[in-house]
Structure 1
């Protein structure tokens, strides 16, 4: 084995402006420096321009309007264009007809899979399985890159605690710790270990920053919060993605401290680059620069200059950089150095993707035929989907179902294959997924009979259903009366042994610009469910959801509830796997479910008030509570049942005090007390009892997903160091303060064993 000496490592580095650079960095810098010396101002500004693909069609790319801009060097990249043939045609224009032959970068919203679609990100997070999440991103990268894409606008790492917000579906829930672990896994999955390989794609972390905390849950709205809250609760997943090496970052639509993110220098330069050391490029969200005009920041020329000075490198769609920065440069509103730096960052990204070596490295026709929607990828999607489902209730072990007798399948989501993939599935073929009806029919074969009725439309409001079934995700609204549909459903129910009710949201009831003030199951569906329960037959609610929903009545009256989110291409088969017990559900919530919308925002890691309600109490005058409902969630963060059961022993600490530089181990025995094998997510929480600033009642600090056979016991051990106890104080210093701590381990954020330890000073 060849010995690598310290000297060998040293000579592989070159010091440039005080920063150690590898030989490859030096080579890249020399290449880009030479190229930029040849570029005109217009060509540099062109690299900062990211239009959509517009009117490009296969074989006719050179006749499109955007082709003219590419030829003139006015385009740095394109997005929302797919297929090797189209992308090759467009790339040929760039490298054959433009003056400097600079290749384009091609982006797409590859959010939770490409042709093979995985569960929506909120569902993915509920697997609590970083290997599976990374695998989903790896498969997405393989498929997207095989179809010509080399840049994805993902992962979306916004923390959200307001279930009214539609884009809750696109993130990983309410907690910064698990959000950070998922952010790292997604970046690694997309980018791999070598970004220049043609089966990797560049990640784009979004939305920077704080987008998930918008007021009233209304999309694109204002965000206002303290710096302490930013650093402790909302920033960690973004930083984790940056630390994992994400190549790009996307700005958010909201304002921060009164300045929209796309023009916020403190955010884009002070935090992102100076504090976190990010060296990739920043792109705006769709027309975000132009939208600063409506925010009240000035005209297009003013906001474009503001954005460049803030540290934004690429303008998505708005063309403010392309059309105004030349004049702003003449007026001294921006500098040549600022333009050059933005251009350099875009060129660096293309270099790292290997596009200067081979502009067509992502245009392998053979790969596009053999590496997309493969049997192996579909099998992985089915496994991951089944692992994402959360069993919320299972009274008297209604589930799993037996493959015998007559099973009534009722509801508007029962035969809705187009909706299985969920929101943000732009590359999916909606004809490929199986509906729940088809999947259950396949699963039972000749052993049981599946009888079906739609039962109701999505909602009584025709206009609302139209808004909630966009982008081809139709539910084929039934023109019959509500009464006629209900009558048919009851006829089916009455001749069934058990009823599976496929109800909830449609795919586009969540996602971008899909905020809701009523986050319960829509009106006519709830009426349908009540009628089905009155038959006296066992009812299983298969809940489709893109957010935490209000299910108080359902939780009190329906025997079994399986939350399946939107599981992707293989959702139907995965639902059948779990309903019939071929897979034991193991998903756990990454977002708190409220009892009603009036509790929102509701999250487990809240602060105490000076007048906290005593544990176990519903109401006490002059305490922090409601008159009409308890403070408790319907389902707490981390909650999820199994077809088996688990018991926890007491926590054993290796010692009661922790010194800086040392570690405490916390161990607990977990036993499968049921009759079948299952998986359990063992969760570790910590509370800092006294601080110089107020601290949350508990914070997730670790988790392990384990598999236990029936009757098996395993000892789960966590290692706690001073690093796990650090937080940002009022001076925004990241530190741990000596004092008393509580440590909790359990099956969710509510049902926990606890122990005490102390952090000593140095």
Structure 2
């Protein structure tokens, strides 16, 4: 399967939606003419759902109305949407209250459905490791069908922030460090969530977030400041949003953070100048959780009224949870501090979304008890979760072909705090996965091995356990092979879970050293929501699997890879560093005027660390398999035109059928701005039998080499372009050149 770059906007930004029909526009204008200021503020106010049960959210506590008080506010026209509740019965109760309001405007039900509703899929970072937009679209479609069956219309996903500092916890929620991969998957996820018709019963409005630059928080600190050059914002952080908008995303969410000193929620150049004028996005912009109130803590607003004024004037259409628009917009308009035209503009966007969702004509859309009984947690959805998990595991290392394990191995010791238990499988933001239906690795292996498997935790996630280390070492000595299941707890990644060091907890590192000292062959099975800095016995283990947080099918998926039932085909969407101090890091960094020598050598006066290579331990795009592929016969047009292709022959020279991800990287040698040392511009997945070969054509055109300026204008400059077609990883590959005219 060839990935096509045509989903990217390049020089032309397109509106996310076609224009509303005249009848729909007239309906909106009629409602606007009859609405009071208080009712308009109500349509712009989103609150935590206290009418029905809440999902497993991580938002900070807010003063919440009980169900009766919320229903009364809905009847009074003070609520436009509810979020993070689930269940059809409660949603129907709330919708009835909305239809009893003076104007009968229906509610929208929203939630943070990030990687599954009840069937929990792998975290988005894991999904990115598949390098397969078709898989991402299928997963998002399945998630949308479940979520809408549970009474939802709108998800606050996908997160499309480019994340290059693995200390940041929300790396887990996105597609990793690369612009191109992030843009491709952003579009795929939007298409999957929304389907072909946003008014369909199973369509879930998508909300790319966080606009914009949240992934570049200083020091990887959650909610921290973002300070970047305008060209970095335009060239690195906006393309995934552009791709999501081009795919039809219905809404967008503003970032919590400041951007170059101005909080995003109050940043008019960002939310109006770039979002509306440059990108021409037509849907509503929602604040993050109480982010308008947080303008006071930022020092950007004097009080709540001032915060509401600054947010609405900047372009924040919907206030989430704070209630500031309800409390202050009517007075702000009345005394002339906020133009009524700006309020009406925001209300039009909200009403347009409700129309596009079909809620005015079918207010009980996606509130069907029969769908709730039949469309949630189906065998087909569970099977897709299994497929996704299997395809997203990355084989980092396999010295001596330790993997796959022999089926007749006599005794296996499964050791580590990530070996057993379902509480940690889902990872962060698993929403309604509270039923804990996941299958852990110990359970999956027991079904296969029976008494040949011994399980010992060895320690807790971040602390020793009395006597446990000794039992683990004894089990390792008695085994033919050790599976060391270690990594992060679910609460170590995700929102508000930044880490100053991305190494394994000390207790787990000590466990690894003790088990390795027994001499029994060891396979490390990592569980994590970010790239980790591996050390000591873990880094030196003969075989290492990066398995992320894989959700409900964790155990069966890992077991299938360990025993060779499935070929590992995942590729890293983030680079694994040698040390935390290398953060932030991305493979497509700009060159320095004093590059280190190649091959590396101790030398002063060059861009290098004294105590680590100027390279990651495992680069973006890295991933091994159980068979062997080679690349040959790279052909490139001598001059790159508007539509061209790089061709390469891929051959399976191993003994197993397998899939391979071929990656295309480029660099323009000389330009008006320094160009990254390499940039991913295309990739293709191919599945071949032993001895089989195929010639692939990966599209590449002039606009793929465009340079973006501060205003978002893309220009192509003539010059020589280096290309690499890589079998695995961004730091290798067959080299060729072409020209830009």
Residue 571 of structure 2 is aligned with which of 588, 591, 613?
A: 588
Cα distance in 2 for partners of 1:314, 1:730 equals: 28
Q: State the secondary structure of the residue aligned to 2:293.
A: helix
Q: 2:541 aligns with which of 527, 550, 558?
A: 558
**1:101 matched to 2:104:** yes
Task: Determine the C-alpha separation between the residues in 2 that align with 1:26 and 1:113.
Answer: 37
5+ residue gaps, structure 2: 1-14, 55-64
Using a 3 Å threshold, how does the CA distance of structure 1 residues 63 and 605 change in structure 2: closer, same or farther?
closer
2:706 to 726, 734, 744: 726
Map of 1:491 onto structure 2: 474
Of 626, 633, 652, which residue of structure 2 is paired with 1:643? 626
Residue in structure 1 matched with residue 504 of structure 2 by the alignment? 521
The count of aligned residue pairs is: 714
Q: Return closer, same or farther for 1:22/1:109 CA change in 2, 3 Å cut-off.
A: closer
Partner of 2:212: 209
2:638 corresponds, among 656, 664, 685, to 656
Q: Is residue 2:417 matched to residue 1:412?
A: yes
Are 1:323 and 2:327 matched, yes or no? yes
Match of 1:675 in 2: 655
Residue in 2 that maps onto 1:361: 365
1:334-386 residue CA offsets vs partner (Å, 9 max, x unmatched)? 01111111111111111111111111111111111111111000001000011
| Greater RCO (CA < 8 Å, at least 6 residues apart) | 2
SS in 1 for 2:138: helix
- Alpha-carbon distance between aligned partners in 2 of 1:56 and 1:116, rounded to the nearest angstrom: 20
| Aligned pairs (5 A) from 1:130-149 | 130-149=133-152
Q: Secondary structure at the match of 2:219?
A: helix
| Cα separation, 2, equivalents of 1:239 and 1:36 | 30
Distance 1:622 1:92, change over 3 A: same
Question: 1:754 — aligned with what?
Answer: 735
Between the aligned partners of 2:504 and 2:19, the Cα distance in structure 1 is 58
Q: Which is further off, 266-275 or 399-408?
A: 399-408
Alignment CA distance shift 1:40-1:286 (3 Å): same
**Residue 428 (structure 1) aligned with residue 433 (structure 2):** yes
Contact 1:107 1:151 in 2 (8 A): yes
Measure the CA separation in 2 of the matches of 1:619 and 1:593.
Answer: 23
CA pair 303-618 structure 1, distance change in 2 beyond 3 A:
farther
Secondary structure of residue in 2 paired with 1:363: coil
C-alpha separation between the residues in 1 aligned to 2:237 and 2:112? 23
Q: In the TM superposition, what whole-angstrom CA distance separates every residue of 1:597-644 from its partner, at most 9, and x where no partner exists? A: 111111100101111112211432111111111111100010001011
Q: CA deviation at 1:554?
A: 4.2
What does 1:70-109 align with in structure 2 at a 5 Å threshold?
Answer: 70-95=74-99, 97-109=100-112
Cα distance in structure 1, aligned partners of 2:537 and 2:352:
54
CA distance 1:221–1:495, change in 2 (3 Å): same
Query: Corresponding residue for 2:178?
Result: 175
CA contact (8 A) 1:693 1:729 kept: no
Partner of 2:592: 609
Q: 2:38 aligns to what?
A: 42
Following superposition, the deviation at residue 664 of structure 1 comes to 3.7
Q: Distance in 2 between matches of 1:124 and 1:714?
A: 26
| Structure 2 residue aligned with 1:314 | 318
Structural mapping, 1:350-499, within 5 Å: 350-404=354-408, 405-444=410-449, 449-460=452-463, 480-481=465-466, 484-499=467-482
Check conservation: 1:625, 1:631, Cα contact below 8 A: yes
Structure 2 counterpart of 1:709: 689
1:494 Cα deviation after fit:
2.3
Distance in 2 between the 1:361 and 1:63 partners? 22
Do the aligned residues in 2 keep the contact of 1:121 with 1:172 (CA within 8 Å)? yes
**CA displacement at 1:256 relative to structure 2:** 1.4
Equivalent of residue 68 in structure 1, options 65, 72, 82:
72
More deviation, 492-501/728-737: 728-737
Q: Deviations along 1:4-25, whole A, 9 cap, x unmatched?
A: xxxxxxxxxxxxxxx9997952
CA 1:314–1:430 in structure 2 vs 1: closer, same or farther (change >3 Å)? same
Q: Secondary structure at the match of 1:648?
A: strand
Partner-residue secondary structure (3-state), 2:113: coil
**Aligned-pair CA distance for 1:545:** 0.7
TM-score by length of 2: 0.94
1:266 aligned partner: 269
In the aligned structure 2, how far is the partner of 1:318 from the partner of 1:24?
A: 31
| Local SS of the residue matching 1:333 | coil
Report deviation, 1:556.
4.5
After superposition, the C-alpha distances for 1:566-594 in whole angstroms (9 at most, x for unaligned) are 00111111111111111111000011111
Distance in 1, matches of 2:108 and 2:569, equals 39
Instruction: Quote the offset at 1:499 in angstroms.
Output: 0.9
Which of 138-147 and 65-74 deviates more?
65-74
Residue in structure 2 matched with residue 186 of structure 1 by the alignment: 189
Question: Are the counterparts in 2 of residues 618 and 631 from structure 1 also a CA contact under 8 Å?
Answer: no
Cα displacement string for residues 169-216 of structure 1 (whole angstroms, at most 9, x for unaligned residues): 011000110000000000000001100000111001100110000001
Q: Structure 2 CA distance, aligned partners of 1:282 and 1:235?
A: 15
Alignment correspondent of 1:745: 725
Distance between the aligned counterparts of 2:614 and 2:627, measured in 1? 29
Task: Using the TM superposition, give the Cα deviation of residue 55 of structure 1 relative to its aligned residue in structure 2, in angstroms.
Answer: 5.8
Q: Report the CA distance between 1:730 and its aligned residue.
A: 5.5
Q: Is the 8 A contact 1:158 1:212 kept in 2?
A: yes
| Structure 2 CA distance for aligned equivalents of residues 752 and 739 of structure 1 | 21
Aligned to 2:11: none
Give the 3-state SS of the residue equivalent to 1:683 in structure 2: strand
In the other structure, the counterpart of 1:51 is 47
Q: Which whole-Å deviations, capped at 9, do the CAs of 1:677-728 have from their partners, x for residues lacking one?
A: 1111100011011111111111100000111112222212223211111121
Q: Is the 8 A contact 2:513 2:536 kept in 1?
A: no
| 8 Å contact from structure 1 (residues 56, 64) kept in 2 | no
Separation (CA, whole Å) in 1 of partners of 2:525 and 2:279: 43
Unmatched runs of 5 consecutive residues or more in structure 1: 1-18, 461-477
Instruction: For residues 67-86 of structure 1, give each alpha carbon's deviation from its aligned partner in whole angstroms, at most 9, with x where no partner exists.
Output: 12111100000001100111
Secondary structure at the counterpart of residue 418 of structure 1:
coil
Rate the CA distance shift 1:114–1:234 in 2: closer, same or farther, 3 A.
same
Contact 1:393 1:555 in 2 (8 A): no
